Amino acid sequence: MYADAILSVFAQRYKSARETFVDHVETSSVIERVTHLPHPLKGPANEKLYCDIAWAGSPKAEKVLVLVSGLHGVEGGAGSAIQADFVTRYRRLPPDICVILVHAINPWGFAWASRTDEQGIDVNRNFVDFDGTLPKSKATQIWQDLQDGKTDIHTVGQDREQFDLLSEGQYEDATAPYFGGKEASWSRQTIEQLAAQIKPEKRKKVIVVDIHTGLGPYGYGELICDHPVDSQGHHDAVAVFGGTVTEPSLGTSSSGPKLGLHDYFWHSQGDHVCFLTLEFGTFGTPQMLRVLADDQRLQQSGKLDWQDENTLDVKHAMQDFFCPDEKQWKELVLFRGRQVIEMAIDGMTEHANHNAR
């Protein structure tokens, strides 16, 4: 059991989460560099929005661990807590390892309690080649069937095949969920700029862990690997994190195959780059689709009124689903987050020692 003081790193809302993260970063001895990237828009209380990037350990280290929170906005609470907790627990790192904390990569979605960004883009479907032919999927037809009453949320949520098709991603209808956009989002551009700073090609090893919530059993932190099963990235994921690594293409994951994932950008950075999604389950797929559908309708209704009771009901439901304010869930998240970070750091060190033999 964790003391309440330890669990105080959790916050459902962007403003509180950022204040906690920044406060810990500013007083930490392990942080060497911090960048506050301003977002062009503001939050519901007219607050400024930022993606904050903190580098722990030597920025020139040969091995890099990147921890990303808030790609899906409202899901940012869990990742923010894991990042703030990391800063409080580590006073030093091995000299050849740098940990980069990317806090609230989609700050608009975090602040406005939305899974998308300000353009309605699901950033985790946004990493496609927009100069080429965009992928096709059945997602928009399933969503239309839901709107027309030909099926219902409970049925789709309980039908794994239907849910996987709906959540695969789509590039046709900006008013429907899982929309991958028509151009590179602000968050994607920020990721690409960060990668240019990291220079993965000059590092010996890069592990990226992108923290999400919503899929899978309550409180369980699933490590999802979308590397091809015969690739070096998949081999490294299993070597470092063991049998808890799941693979959508093999049907062993709570997630199905997707289009335009954040993963795919990092896969393209070299065979020595390993990307995993750390997904924490909450209250099940049917309930997730209900809160997402309510938020989708609200987003399409026009300008959000943060003082309106219906708006607050929808947004609070989003926050409660994707970052439950429950002690047991927080403890499970923090334990698994610590475990994954330690395994990544140990794994990179052991990997280097093995190669040196």
In this structure, what are the phi and psi dihedrals at residue 50, rounded to the nearest 5 degrees? Answer: -140, 150
Q: So what's the pLDDT on residue 123?
A: 98
Instruction: Find the angle CA(68)-CA(181)-CA(47) to the nearest 5 degrees.
Output: 55
> Does residue 13 register a pLDDT over 70?
yes
Lowest mean pLDDT among 76-80, 182-186, 204-208, 346-350: 346-350
* Listed residue (17, 101, 98) closest to 67, CA to CA: 101
Q: So what's the pLDDT on residue 300?
A: 85
Mean pLDDT across the stretch 140-156?
91
Mean pLDDT across the stretch 106-129?
97
Q: What is the mean pLDDT of the chain?
A: 94
Angle between helices 76-89 and 14-26 (to 10 degrees): 20
| Amino acid (1-letter code) at residue 220 | Y
> Does residue 142 register a pLDDT over 50?
yes
In this structure, what are the phi and psi dihedrals at residue 208, rounded to the nearest 5 degrees? Answer: -115, 125
* Listed residue (216, 202, 188, 211) closest to 86, CA to CA: 211
Q: What residue segments make up the domains of the chain, in order of their start?
A: 4-356
Question: Helix, strand, or coil here: 143?
Answer: helix
**Domain 4-356, what fold?**
Aminopeptidase (3.40.630)
Q: So what's the pLDDT on residue 352?
A: 46
Render pLDDT for 318-341 as a digit per residue (tens, 0 to 9). Answer: 999 999 999 999 999 999 999 999
> Does residue 350 register a pLDDT over 90?
no
Mean pLDDT across the stretch 123-140?
95
Render pLDDT for 252-286 as a digit per residue (tens, 0 to 9). Answer: 999 999 999 999 999 999 999 999 999 999 999 99
What is the pLDDT confidence band of residue 12, given thresholds at 50, 70 and 90? very high
What is the pLDDT confidence band of residue 166, given thresholds at 50, 70 and 90? very high
> Does residue 130 register a pLDDT over 50?
yes
What is the pLDDT confidence band of residue 299, given thresholds at 50, 70 and 90? confident
Mean pLDDT across the stretch 289-293?
95
Render pLDDT for 201-230 as a digit per residue (tens, 0 to 9). Answer: 999 999 999 999 999 999 999 999 999 999
Instruction: Find the angle CA(287)-CA(210)-CA(24) to the nearest 5 degrees.
Output: 105
Strand locations in the chain (E): 31-42, 48-56, 63-68, 97-103, 205-218, 221-224, 245-246, 273-281
Between these two residues, 280 and 147, which has the higher pLDDT value? 280
How many residues are listed for the chain in this entry? Answer: 357
Largest Cα span, the chain? 64
pTM of the model: 0.95
Q: So what's the pLDDT on residue 17?
A: 98
DSSP structure class, residue 209: E
